[in-house]
Amino acid sequence: MGPVRPNWTSCTEHRSDYLTNTPSTALVTGITGQDGGHIARLLVDEGYDVYGLIRGQYNPRRSSLEAEFPQVTLIEGDLTDPASLVRAIELADPDEIYNLGAVSHVGFSFKNPTLTLDVTGKGVLNLVEAVRLTGRADRTRIYQASTSEMFGGLDYNRPGSGYNEDSLFHPRSPYGVAKLYGHWIAKNYRESYGMFVSCGILFNHEGERRGVEFVTRKITHAVARIAAGTQDVIVLGDLWPKRDWGYAGDYVRGMWQMLQQDTPDDFVLASGETHSIEEFLQLAFARVGIDDWRPYVRQDPAFMRPAEVDILLGDPAKAEDVLAWRRDVDFDGLVNLMVDHDIALVKAGATL
Ligand code: NAP
Ligand code: F7E
């Protein structure tokens, strides 16, 4: 017997059932991460039964997650362990899966390339295969967290209007290469088995939940400490790269919207603006009344990468047209929100 191939385009009966039956059940991988926290908030507020995959026999992020989301059920599992994914899917029986788990730090991926491939690349295969093998190919919708790092920011493949869903890929790191595998295996399961797998090609998104190992949060947390007199300088790598930065809360709404469509598809989510790290520094320091940030910043090659992505700019036109996706927070608003949040944290004596 051939594979079950649901016709998502014409299945209006299924569509209306799907919508009238929501809120439903969701499983989130990477629930302890930045986007995991934002999507957990959105799904809980929408009335979903939310399950989260949590890795390790002891995970230091577990207690804060349980305190913030007592309604969420955590299931032990790991994207590199197919049996644990089958178990998680059978326990949660999800209508929607948000696959946010990954080794997500580009610099770290150069130092741990095989781990990155196993989690960020093969982990996607393990997940879609677990959905298929548990007989859910025709009823579980999957969001795959693809990334602008798949484009690479090179002169030859960079459209002036920004990267879109049809742009050429040229990843520049083990992370980008692993994500490209994840992107294509997700699309392959959509095409081969008719599975509802949508890939969001998301440009950088930040906010108060961002890990301090990423440049924006490293800056805003340091700026708050410098303003409080508890830190002297920030040590960074290259300052000239440009990124298309948005607010994570806006972007997880786009993820959810992708899974509420009639058909699975790929969408770029981006702000359509690009800014250098120097511009981010300028605004962050200005927020605490420091106009000349240069005396507070040192550079160290330890934070530079063997290959850099020089500039990223995305074109979110398709998501705006098809999903009616909109952003509430612009670049200035993002920097201010993050600095203000970290000033409050530092004042409260909280550690990161
Ligand atoms: P993040 O904060 O780094 O979170 C990564 C999550 O992955 C954490 O919950 C981590 O769990 C989990 N994880 C790591 N290894 C795992 C494994 N072996 N099995 C299961 N889970 C594992 O990342 P984020 O910023 O929220 O990003 C969410 C997703 O979007 C990632 O896939 C990322 O690559 C992608 N993405 C992010 C951006 C962005 O700008 N933020 C842009 C494009 C795409 P622990 O707590 O146990 O470490
Ligand atoms: O680096 C430069 C660094 O690590 C941004 C991930 O969420 O977005 C993220 O990847 C830029 C790079 O983010 C430091 O070289 C300078 O040019 O904050 P980042 P990223 O590499 O853009 C994409 C879309 C993802 O998918 C990823 O998962 O900042 N930079 N000095 C530095 N970066 C860091 N981390 N630390 C520094 O000290």
Q: Which of the residues 98, 143, 163, 175 is marked catalytic?
A: 175
Arithmetic mean of pLDDT over the chain: 94
Residue 281: exposed, middle, or buried by beta-carbon count in 10 A (0-12, 13-18, 19+)?
Answer: buried
Kindly indicate the confidence band of residue 352, based on its pLDDT and cuts at 50, 70 and 90: confident
Q: Which of the residues 25, 147, 216, 220 is marked catalytic?
A: 147
Residue 21 has pLDDT above 90, yes or no: no
* Weakest-pLDDT range from 19-28, 136-145, 264-273, 294-303: 19-28
- Ligand 2 centroid – CA 210 distance (Å): 12
Nearest to residue 144, comparing CAs of 43, 266, 26, 318? 266
- Ligand 2 centroid – CA 233 distance (Å): 19
Residue 10 has pLDDT above 50, yes or no: no
pLDDT in tens, 95-154: 999 999 999 999 999 999 999 999 999 999 999 999 999 999 999 999 999 999 999 999
Q: Which ligand is nearest to the CA of 153?
A: 2
Whether 149 is in the pocket of ligand 2, judged by its Cβ within 6 Å, is yes
What global pTM score does this model have? 0.95
H-only helix segments in the chain: 12-21, 34-45, 62-68, 82-92, 106-111, 113-116, 122-133, 174-193, 215-228, 248-258, 277-287, 317-318, 331-347
- Ligand 2 centroid – CA 214 distance (Å): 5
Residue 13 has pLDDT above 60, yes or no: no
3-class DSSP state of 47: coil
What is the distance between the alpha carbons of residues 343 and 223, in angstroms, rounded to a whole number? 8
Q: What is the mean pLDDT of residues 337-348?
A: 98
Residue 155 has pLDDT above 50, yes or no: yes
* Weakest-pLDDT range from 4-8, 51-55, 203-207, 211-215: 4-8
Structure tokens at 293: 């940030």
What is the distance between the alpha carbons of residues 80 and 244, in angstroms, rounded to a whole number? 30
Question: Is 175 tagged catalytic?
Answer: yes
Give residue 52's Cα distance to chain centre. Answer: 15
**Residue ID of nearest Cα to ligand 2 atom 33:** 215
Q: Which atom of ligand 1 is nearest to the CA of 55?
A: 47
Q: Which atom of ligand 1 is nearest to the CA of 34?
A: 26
**Residue ID of nearest Cα to ligand 2 atom 32:** 215
Question: Is 147 tagged catalytic?
Answer: yes
Kindly indicate the confidence band of residue 12, based on its pLDDT and cuts at 50, 70 and 90: very low
Q: Which ligand is nearest to the CA of 35?
A: 1
Question: Is 20 tagged catalytic?
Answer: no
**Residue ID of nearest Cα to ligand 1 atom 38:** 204
Structure tokens at 12: 């209006």
